[in-house]
Structure 1
Amino acid sequence: MGLRAGGGQDLLQRREDVRQANFLELFVDLVLVFALSGVVSRVVRDITADDPVVRWRSLTYLLVLAMPLIWLWITTAHITSWFDPRRRKIQWLVLASAFGLLLMAASLPAAFVGRGLAFVLPYVILQCGRPLVLLPGLRGHPLGRLYVRSMLWCGGTAVLWFGGAAVSGGARAALWGIAVTVDIVTAQLRWPVPGMDRPPISAWAMDSGHHLPERYQQLLLIALGESVLAVGVTFSDQRIGLETGATLVIAYLSTVLMWRIYFYRSGQVLAEAVAAAGDRLAAGRATGVAHIVMVIGIVATAVGFEVVMTHPAGRNEPAWLAAILGGPAIFLYGRIRLERVVFDRLSIRRVVAIAGLVVAAAPLSFAAPLVAAVVALLVLLGVAVADARHAAGRPLERPSPAH
């Protein structure tokens, strides 16, 4: 979908000659790695507590803290996809977004007890303020109408965000969870406002270029890189032994396998699938949701790695199993959704793998966390091997998008 119509040509220049992420976007990526690492550290602190309620609550905190960070990154990626990132105004917006992510990440250790406002304020200012900065250059353009609607909804959810910051603990998590859910769901619906026509463009819109699909690929690499970073930092603080060494190897191999499962082959040809899609609004929406799900799964898997690193022996706690086995299962579910976008089919191999992880949960509750990590690794290995066998001797498959 082109963006040449209407005013604001100084910003809305298409960027066929700027297909890759620029250095400022990569800077935002580095901040997101730090932010997701902070989420993992915050969740691990509670999931290893003695109180079972605190352990289960930590998994809720994972969603409530990670989703705003991921959504802020995605909306930044869409701005640099729609607008020319070589323009100074866009560069300042990208830098402000990176600083906002940094402030949110720095508040994570006390996000539910004392620094709620420090987590909320950058998010709300950026989500409401960036459209306001861009609107003067969008007169007569459908994107301007979309931004007006987004600001109206942002003002509404800001009440939930600030209301959560005014309370603490579970009440704060509940209000923030509702707020970020509303933010993402209404974006899927193009921020509906009674009495205002729905613009012919979406917050998830993709054009025929490669920039946005490549940014989604980089989002997966960010999450995988955070997983390696988290387990590496924890390993450096542990006494080196057979169990910790085994956990490091398992974590690394599991991360490599998730990379392999993602990129073969849907992740690899994502840009081609988007270019071939008949409905790029629907394709963009489905692609974005699939990547959000996969990133949440990878972050949960990183939490599981940390649990195994610090508690390799003994009996599994149910919340620990939810991270060790549930993280890979969520990742595979997101990968199933991506397979549907790119090839318009259900990936039976991944469905079987998820079922295997679910079935294994009951017996593994009597085993050590390290054993559960080995089982999750074997399941991921099975999917990767099945993919390789399916592709052996066949020409590379071309995308056949569902939308």
Structure 2
Amino acid sequence: MRAARRARIVGDADLRQGRCLEIGPLANPVVSPEVADVRYVDVVDRAGLVAHYDGDPAVDPDEIPEQHFWLTRPDGTVSTLAEAVAADAPYQHVVASHVIEHVPDVLGWLRDVAEVLTHDGALLLAVPDRRYCFDVHRAPATVGQVVQAHLDGDRTPSARAVLDHFMRAVDYSAEQAWAGEQPPTEGSHPLDDVRRLLARQRAGEYVDCHVWPLTPQVFAGLMDDLLALGEVGFAVERITATRVGDQEFYATLRRLDRRREPAAAAAEARSALARIRSALPDESPSPRSGDTELVPAHVVADLEQQLAETRERLMKVRSARDRARRERDEARAAATAAEAADGAGLVGRLGRRLRR
């Protein structure tokens, strides 16, 4: 299961080429030392992670690996990713599974990742789709929010992010979403808890939350806007649709060549991204009949995409089958011709002997 998911996250990237940095592996690293030459980085060191997740049934402390780097300094301040790993950079691949949605300043974070990558390095992402998790009631992230967080210099999730997360989060799974169940209207965090968390945030604590609710189309749109503004140094090579029954999508971002003129590189990247966006399923909700939703538009689109992929594979199989049949028929015809030629030659030789 872990190998299959790693393959979906990595896509066509070869992790054996160059060194790899995984951000926030917690107790379930995507990349193990057996797979690649990998380093791990998180907000705190392993001891801090074990203490933070003590008693959390979803996290096995024994599975948390040693962190090579961490962002929190001895004085409690938080460094940037680029500052934390500077002595060990650059890396050919940076892997981040369910990380980007937590990052307080995602624009600054993308710039940090670009800084620690080789000139042609790639950022490999697994991202939760807000439609299939506790973020279902939240509005999608906007480019204005992304730029504002960067201008504000957010090193910890903002009051806006903490309130949006804890006020709107509900107990809702991917299984329920794909089964067509309506999400609950009652939030999963009591108001007193929300107030305490906001107070902690205002006191300067790092209150972890989903800062950026995303979907494949929303993420593609944000990247396009940031490329248009000249604010990001990545081209988008891949964004997948969220698979039916799943709750995450995958993306590959390739660092722009800094030797090129920035505007031309960004324009080329936007053109490629437009093709990727056009291939993604439409995420607009399907029409309703009374209070009953018909088959959701994203389900139909995803199934149609899978059907198209199946048809394409079938066409390739049929083409290979037809080619094999042609080659077989040609071989048989050649063999028949050869046998006929041999037979004619034998008859001729016998005739000559009889005439003697």
Name the TM-score class by shorter chain.
under 0.3
> Which structure's residues are more often strand, by fraction?
2
Larger Rg: 2
Structure 2 length-normalised TM: 0.28
Structure 1 length-normalised TM: 0.25
Higher RCO by CA contacts (8 Å cutoff, separation 6 or greater): 1
> Which structure's residues are more often helix, by fraction?
1
